[in-house]
């Protein structure tokens, strides 16, 4: 448990480092009007905070920077949510006042606005990404070589795709495959269909058809369609370049590779994290993130729901030196506004 003085000094260090990106020294902290301690006293407390793991001393610098543990304590116990500026409030209100009728459009617009307001990278999973499930799967042969695959979801969305039938597969075998797929995959979220295909059906498929692996590959092609792809929205991917932490080309390259890999990105943004008390906001700092590419980043996400049903998730990705107070407040406001919009949409 930190003392009140340690909490005050840790808050000052985190706030200064967030704004300056430079290691913070005792003298600069002592000049703050809200601290009121001598440089010598602050130095002693900084040494103790470093020993406790809340601060780090980069290289031979006299200053300190927050550790991941320090940021975590700051977010959980010390952060004071900033009031949004008049411009930010206006941007948020106007964002939902526009006559946008499609859910996908409003989510995409939200992601773009958040990236502009924060200078971070926004990631949004559109409505139904987690809760849309397979209701029915059908294969309608057009001739001996091709068929139309039809996917119907629990939301009533219908998607058609023309596929090549593997050589040597009879019509009766196709029917058996369709029955197997409907038995095993009905009710499975779209996002999990491909993994369930191998987990639940791989071995059993060989009992029904002579070319099981070819059929599995064909079905996988159908299930890797656009449904999940088009409901992931990115904005501000180049904003990372504006942060001093990401001047290393190799580091930024691995982050961009993750952003381009939709299944991995969906897993990252949907992973459980540490919740900011009372807001429903998920804050994952540094190595709390499940993917190595963003182990030096912070990811703040919020879900938006209607009548208790999770419709989607929106997140902001940036350095661990993130403006937590501003971002948490923004995310809180946006998730509430999205929920209101979606409720209106569902009426």
Show me where the domains of the chain are located.
4-78, 86-129+231-346, 134-226
Residue 336 has pLDDT above 90, yes or no: no
Tens of pLDDT along 134-169?
889 998 888 888 889 898 887 677 888 888 888 878
As a CATH number, domain 4-78 is: 1.10.10.10
pLDDT of residue 327: 93
Residue 243 DSSP code: S
pLDDT of residue 227: 45
Q: Where are the beta strands (DSSP E) in the chain?
A: 55-56, 65-66, 121-125, 134-141, 146-153, 158-164, 232-235, 274-276, 281-285, 297-306, 309-319
Tens of pLDDT along 64-92?
999 999 999 999 999 987 777 888 888 87
pLDDT of residue 292: 92
Residue 343 has pLDDT above 80, yes or no: no
Fold of 134-226: Enolase-like; domain 1 (3.30.390)
Residue 308 has pLDDT above 70, yes or no: no
pTM score, whole prediction: 0.72
Question: How far is CA 311 from each of CA 1, 20, 22, 186, rounded to the nearest angstrom?
Answer: 38, 37, 40, 20
Residue 126 DSSP code: P
* Greater pLDDT, 24 or 232: 24
CATH homologous superfamily for the domain 86-129+231-346: GAF domain (3.30.450.40)
Give residue for tokens 């964002």.
95
Three-state DSSP class for residue 276: strand
Residue 261 has pLDDT above 80, yes or no: yes
**86-129+231-346 against 134-226: fold identical:** no
The enclosing H or E element of 219 equals helix 212-223
Q: Which two tokens stand for residue 147?
A: 């068929």
């Amino acid at each position: 448990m930190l003392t009140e003085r340690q909490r005050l000094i840790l808050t000052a260090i985190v706030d200064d480092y967030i704004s300056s990106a430079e290691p913070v020294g005792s003298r600069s902290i002592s000049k703050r009007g809200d601290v009121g301690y001598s440089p010598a006293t602050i130095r002693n407390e900084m040494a103790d905070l470093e020993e406790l793991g809340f601060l780090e001393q980069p290289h031979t610098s006299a200053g300190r920077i927050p550790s991941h543990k320090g940021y975590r304590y700051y977010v959980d116990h010390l952060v004071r949510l900033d009031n949004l500026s008049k411009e930010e409030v206006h941007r948020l209100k106007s964002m939902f006042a526009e006559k946008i009728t499609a859910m996908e459009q409003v989510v995409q617009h939200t992601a773009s606005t958040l990236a502009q307001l924060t200078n971070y990278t926004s990631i949004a999973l559109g409505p139904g990404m987690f809760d849309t499930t397979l209701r029915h799967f059908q294969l309608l042969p057009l001739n001996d070589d091709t068929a139309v695959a039809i996917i119907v979801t629990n939301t009533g969305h219908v998607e058609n795709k023309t596929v090549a039938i593997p050589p040597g597969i009879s019509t009766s075998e196709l029917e058996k495959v369709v029955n197997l797929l409907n038995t095993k995959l009905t009710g499975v979220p779209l996002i999990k269909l491909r993994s369930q295909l191998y987990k639940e059906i791989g071995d059993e498929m060989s009992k029904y058809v002579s070319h099981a692996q070819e059929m599995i590959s064909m079905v996988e092609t159908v299930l890797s369609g656009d449904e999940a792809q088009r409901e992931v929205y990115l904005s501000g991917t180049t904003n990372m370049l504006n942060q001093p932490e990401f001047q290393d080309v190799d580091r930024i390259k691995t982050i961009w590779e993750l952003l381009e890999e939709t299944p991995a990105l969906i897993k990252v943004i949907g992973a459980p994290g540490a919740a900011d008390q009372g807001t429903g906001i998920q804050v994952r700092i540094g190595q709390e993130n499940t993917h190595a590419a963003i182990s030096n980043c912070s990811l703040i996400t919020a879900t938006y729901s209607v009548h208790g049903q999770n419709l989607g998730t929106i997140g902001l990705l940036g350095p661990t030196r993130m403006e937590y107070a501003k971002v948490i407040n923004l995310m809180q406001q946006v998730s509430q506004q999205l929920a209101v919009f979606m409720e209106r949409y569902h009426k």
